[in-house]
């Protein structure tokens, strides 16, 4: 009781002792941050409003704060595009398989290494950390995967990812610090095997970190194009990012076919605007998942980052 009052007094004093300098300082900080938020959000906002606007208005520079001539045509055009839809389907399948495989491997690696009583733990840890700093490089990896292991297409793309040591360390730190070791000991005294402990004790208590690491892996798989570029030769298996690269960056207009639009200039204009819709469509899956995971996010990341 007495302590609470003292604390209140201190708090009250601190608030009332906000000098004029402090108020000016905080105002400047808030203005700076608001400006920064604006700079970061505006390009994204512009992409969204442009994607809902008529091509002519965007190209003419009329779309600045609000969409002009609200339309869904740009999106309709995207949905009609076979390549994009195929890419979407492939990327989703890769996303699900990849995230599951990576999480499976990472958990199986992190849990034993989180156990203090595991003989050889430090040695295994070093074995896992070395690849973080030294890798074979592009060609040795490519030759190993395609020639020695004879893996191609999706198998290669998925397996080359595997365990990220950084994520594994975050997970291991979480197992070590957030789950009391006594809990595991108690379960083992009651006759639980290590596999049983993992499934019944560790996993239910680790939802936050599993979600966060899953998000890391998922975003990585969804957004990367390089391993698909070198390992996937069959165009029917291309993930979305490769088609995007073709349309957005290499400006391959044939992929966005206007159909009825006859003259070149108008077609180029349309293609340019459709790109905005494509950007939105390609980013939405990751941005939609994010708020659901965000509540676990701070907890999971903080634990890993402070001690890992």
Binding to other proteins, residues 216-235 (CB under 8 A): 219, 222-226, 230
Residue from 2, 16, 21, 260 touching other proteins (CB under 8 A): that is 21
Residue 37 lies near other proteins (rule: CB under 8 A):
yes
Residue 198 lies near other proteins (rule: CB under 8 A):
yes
Residue 123 lies near other proteins (rule: CB under 8 A):
no
Residue 258 lies near other proteins (rule: CB under 8 A):
no
Q: Judged by CB, which is closer to other proteins: 160, or 205? A: 160
Residue 272 lies near other proteins (rule: CB under 8 A):
yes
Residue 71 lies near other proteins (rule: CB under 8 A):
no
Residue 134 lies near other proteins (rule: CB under 8 A):
yes
Residue 72 lies near other proteins (rule: CB under 8 A):
no
Residue 275 lies near other proteins (rule: CB under 8 A):
yes
Binding to other proteins, residues 89-118 (CB under 8 A): 105-106, 108-109, 111-113, 115, 117-118
Binding mask 167-186 for other proteins (x = CB under 8 A): -x------------------
Residue 203 lies near other proteins (rule: CB under 8 A):
no
**Of 69-77, 178-186, 187-195, 206-214: span binding other proteins (CB under 8 A):** 187-195
> Structure tokens of 110?
């992190």
Q: Judged by CB, which is closer to other proteins: 67, or 112? A: 112
Residue from 133, 182, 236, 264 touching other proteins (CB under 8 A): that is 133
């Amino acid at each position: 009781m007495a302590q609470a009052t003292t604390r209140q007094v201190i708090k009250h004093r601190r608030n009332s002792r906000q000098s004029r300098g402090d108020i000016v300082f905080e105002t400047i900080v808030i203005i700076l941050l608001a400006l920064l938020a604006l700079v970061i959000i505006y390009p994204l906002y512009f992409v969204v409003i442009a994607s809902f606007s008529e091509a002519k208005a965007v190209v003419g520079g009329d779309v600045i704060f609000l969409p002009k001539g609200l339309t869904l045509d740009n999106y309709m055009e995207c949905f009609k595009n076979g390549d994009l839809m195929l890419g979407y389907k492939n990327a989703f399948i890769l996303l699900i398989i990849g995230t599951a495989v990576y999480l499976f491997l990472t958990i199986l690696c992190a849990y034993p290494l989180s156990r203090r009583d595991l003989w050889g733990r430090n040695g295994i840890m070093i074995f896992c950390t070395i690849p973080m700093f030294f890798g074979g490089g592009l060609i040795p990896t490519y030759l190993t995967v395609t020639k020695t292991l004879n893996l191609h297409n999706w198998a290669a793309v998925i397996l080359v990812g595997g365990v990220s040591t950084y994520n594994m360390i975050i997970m291991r730190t979480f197992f070590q610090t957030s789950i009391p070791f006594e809990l595991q000991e108690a379960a083992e005294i009651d006759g639980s095997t290590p596999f049983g402990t993992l499934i019944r004790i560790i996993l239910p208590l680790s939802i936050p970190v599993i979600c966060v690491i899953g998000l890391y892996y998922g975003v990585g798989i969804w957004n990367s194009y390089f391993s698909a570029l070198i390992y996937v030769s069959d165009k029917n298996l291309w993930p979305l990012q490769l088609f995007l690269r073709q349309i957005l960056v290499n400006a391959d207009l044939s992929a966005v076919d206007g159909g009825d639009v006859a003259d070149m200039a108008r077609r180029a204009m349309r293609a340019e605007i459709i790109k905005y819709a494509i950007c939105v469509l390609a980013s939405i899956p990751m941005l939609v998942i994010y708020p659901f995971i965000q509540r676990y996010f701070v907890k999971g990341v903080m634990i890993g980052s402070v001690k890992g």
